[in-house]
Structure 1
Amino acid sequence: MSIDPAELRRCLGHFTTGVTIISCHAPDGAAHGATVNAFTAVSLDPPLVLVSLDRRSRLCGVIESRPFTVNVLESAQKELALHFAGRPNQEVRWAADSDCGAPRLAGTLAHISCTPWRAYDGGDHVLYLGEVQQFHIHGGQPLLFHSGQFHHLGGDHNPLLWDDSADGPDGGVSFLAARPTAGRS
């Protein structure tokens, strides 16, 4: 059976993700970044995350063996996501570099600064694992990506709280009561 790459991409796009900008310093010392939605947690001990970068991207060519930051975008940062996706449209505000020397964007929902751990062949992508050295949660609502479009959580969503006390080899999944949204009890 032959897989049509365009149709596969369309199918995979039905999995909703957050939106991140992966940033590092280029060899000339300039901060560089790219919008990436292929990001995931890998391990808590040691603390590892994974980003998947297209081999053809400029970032893939500069990130190898360099500290990097995963900048998790806030719902109002669609234009910033587009800027780092190759559609420059604004002045970028950088925060002070992380302790491990990776550049960080100002005003994001969260940032996770990493040192290189391993890189793996991922076909037309390279899978980079980073060891988390520093992180900070700034708060807010996430920018989401689904079916080729940016989205945000609606004001009427009613999230379930995750009970992680059962996490572990023999634990099961457990949810607590729904958290009230603003204006609701």
Structure 2
Amino acid sequence: MNSQTTFAPSPSGVTGHLLRQATGRFATGITVITVPKADGTHHGMTANSFISVSLEPPLVLVSVGNQSRTKLLLDDESRFGISILAQHQALAAAHYSGKTQDVEPLLSSSEGVAHVEGALARLSCTVVDRHLAGDHTLFIASVDDVSFEDGQPLIFNQGRMLPLAHYPAG
């Protein structure tokens, strides 16, 4: 099912910039979304717009910009991976956000779905629904497989990536 909702401009004057500044105060974890490409390699995108939707059945949601390469790939490919990054994986997050191309993080692949090696958690997913929401598409996916390790997550808050242990109080 595909749903489309039309949104009118905000009569209150709330701009995208103001909304980003306000919601940036909500700390999130950082994930990398990986989608198979036709040539057998994988495309990755750093994302913090990821949530667990349902436990029964197991469903998650990722929000992907409509102009992104990831969105185009997800339109054609229903399987993808989610890697929840550990505190030591800031370089992987930077790489997949396009901020650095120094060293490509290692990916491990199983049954066509890739994950960032060393991630705290790895989810293999299949798109079951999508909803157009403004300049993004919300992809709802069933979780087909999951594995995880103990450790500290990498956190994103107010435009910065920090290990949870080093996040300033107050």
The reply to whether TM is greater than 0.5 is yes
- Say if 2:124 and 2:145, in contact at 8 Å, map to a contact too: yes
1:155 offset after TM fit, Å? Answer: 7.0
Instruction: Say whether the 8 Å CA contact 2:92–2:104 is kept in structure 1.
Output: no
Shift in Å at residue 111 of structure 1?
Answer: 0.6
**Structure 2: 5+ residue runs without aligned partners?**
1-11
Give the drift of 1:28.
Answer: 2.6
Instruction: Please list every run of at least 4 consecutive aligned residues from structure 1 whose deviation after the TM superposition is greater than 3 angstroms.
Output: none
Contact 2:152–2:165 at 8 Å: present in 1 too? no
Q: Which amino acid aligns with 2:122?
A: H
Q: Per chain length, whose mean CA-contact separation is higher, i.e. which structure has more relative contact order (CA < 8 Å, sep 6+)?
A: 2
1:19-58 correspondence runs (5 A)? 19-58=30-69
Question: Conserved in 2, the CA contact under 8 Å of 1:25 and 1:66?
Answer: no
Distance 1:5 1:92 in 2: 31
Aligned to 2:137, which of 110, 126, 133? 126
Distance 1:19 1:93 in 2: 17
Matched with 1:93 is 106
1:7: how far off? 1.2
Tell me whether 1:79 sits opposite 2:72 in the alignment: no
Report the Cα distance in structure 1 between the residues aligned to 2:124 and 2:90, rounded to whole angstroms: 22
Alignment of 1:66 onto 2:78 = yes
SS state at 2:14 partner: coil
The residue aligned with 1:172 is none
Among the aligned pairs, what percent are the same residue? 34
Q: In the alignment, which residue of structure 2 is the partner of 1:168?
A: none
The answer to whether 1:140 aligns with 2:156 is: no
The CA deviation at 1:60 is 0.8
* RMSD, aligned CA: 1.7
How many pairs were matched up? 155
Q: Quote how far apart the aligned CAs of 1:139 are.
A: 2.0
1:85 is matched by which residue type in structure 2? S
State the SS of the aligned residue for 1:95: strand
- Counterpart amino acid of residue 95 in structure 1: S
2: CA distance, partners of 1:69 / 1:42: 16
Q: Which runs of 5+ in 1 are unaligned?
A: 158-185
**Pair 1:116-2:127 in alignment:** yes
What is the one-letter code of the residue matched to 1:39? F
